[in-house]
Amino acid sequence: MPATWELQTATELRTLPRPVAIALATCTGILLFSAFPPLEWAWAAWLALVPLGLAVAGRRLGEASALSFWAGLVFWIPSLWWIHRVTIAGWIALSAYCALYMIPPAWVFAELGRRSVPSRPGGSLGSALAIAATWVGWEVVRGRLATGFPWNDLGVSQYRHWGWIQHAAWGGVPAVSVAVAFFNGLAWSWAWARMERVRPPTARAEHLVGGCLLLLAWLSGLAQLATPVASDVELRVALVQPAVPQNEKWTPESYTRMYQDLQRLSLAALALQPSLLVWPETALPENVRESREPLALVHSVTSHGVPLVFGALDAERDDDGNVRYYNAAILMKPELALEVYRKQHLVLFGEYVPFRSVLPVLGRLVPMDFDLTPGHTPTVFRIQQPAEIPFSTMICFEDTMAPLARRFVQQGARWLLVLTNDAWFDGTWGHRQHFVQSIFRAVECGVPLVRCANSGVTGWVDPKGRIGGRQGEAAGTLPITDAHGRPVMGFLTVQVPIALAGWNATPWVRHGPWFPWTLACIGVTLTLVVAVVAYKR
């Protein structure tokens, strides 16, 4: 290593041999996959971007695009493997789509390496900030564009590290992702400068400053975690997990047995005197308003004096006799008062198919032969036991949508209830991946989140993101499978602390997603600048 600092020109830069670059890009994909369920090696996320950065640094944008896309495929194809249970074509297409979002950060890596930015004074910090803003900014875009797919963002991998995830109360998941990406940027700038054998005299100080910033962020998160969770009342909620196999879910011959299981489990849960009973998404696969058997079941259960929230298909006929179907959450009170929330964020190619009438062949990609209609109202339910407690429901993948949860809380909800049916993905890590996304809705909004699944993860999360609160995950969730690998049928009763008069809105609820959108603007701008510079070169 030279004793004094020197700056290499672009023509003197070396790029790694192509086989080595491919191996490094593959390593990034493997590390990213390892950071999320099923492996959940959270440490891997803190180093995952470094190999890709070394692989593409100094290369042309075309080569960088190919390497980063490959890394994305290595990450997303196994991560989203559970989707093949519904559609193989959709699994591959969605994986490839998500992999595209790894290309813009690779362009920034490539240009920073080409210009030897890490080897300049101030370059280590500058590089780390540019990489963090670009990576997280494009995660934000992926989470919003074309209905959005905010899945397995970098910060989600840290869900067990409570000191880090408290920052979601300020800026959502991107506020956690940016810390992880920033560390990756610092590590890459150090590794690249070492590889080029050129180190600026300020390098040590810059890495020290970067490390101190991350340490302060972690300590501030621990300080937030140390503040007690406000609780004006404890709500006792009974969650029923019927574990109906997906191939029986919409089979009329199975309905009677399904209803008998629901009644049996509900009566057992009611014996523990809950304040609220919950069934999962589409627990009743028929239109409860017009079908005698499910309506009789609901009346039978609520006759015990406990309100019931359940998922069902809801239908509405217009003046011309046309029927619109909704995926709904329904609150039935003992006095037979019925309130409805209709799912607003439908799953593309799951609950509706765009252009189905024009291209009927697209309908073959999904299991349903009709489209659902989205709702438009952020319903807030209220129950009177043990006090008036307002809450809202999210259905299925709506718990991945941070703006939707924020809107519910702004309307007055003081806890969030998720009804879902993850039986589509039995036997895969889709259950766990889905669950960990929803943990951040609790932290962002500063309210507890309760989750009731047909099969998957049934349990609750406190406002700090701790599964099961202080009791821990074992007490706060039902097992996904039994000793024989079969989905667990049962119920879970949880005590959820609710803040009413003592609740304070988080910065996320008060001010909204200004931080994620700022990162998105910076990330997109940096990508465009790099593209223009490369084009002119």
Residue of 344, 435, 459 lying closest to 395 (CA atoms):
344
Residue of 195, 314, 332 lying closest to 277 (CA atoms):
332
What's the token pair of residue 354? Answer: 């765009």
Q: Which residues share a beta bridge with 389?
A: 383
The amino acid that residue 309 corresponds to is: V
The amino acid that residue 33 corresponds to is: F
Helix 88-100 to helix 61-79 angle (10° resolution) is 140
Is 127 buried (19+), middle (13-18) or exposed (0-12) by CB count in 10 A? buried
Q: Among all residues, which ones are annotated catalytic?
A: 281, 343, 396
In whole angstroms, what is the distance from residue 43 CA to residue 372 CA? 41
In whole angstroms, what is the distance from residue 262 CA to residue 71 CA? 45
Contact status, residue 278 vs residue 310, Cβ threshold 8 Å: yes
Peptide bond into 386 cis (omega under 30): yes
Q: Which residues share a beta bridge with 453?
A: 420
Contact residues for 68 (Cβ-Cβ < 8 A; gap 6+): 25, 52, 56, 99, 102, 103, 105, 106
Residue of 260, 281, 217 lying closest to 419 (CA atoms):
281
- The Cα-based distances of 73 to 38, 257, 437, 527 in angstroms read 17, 42, 21, 21
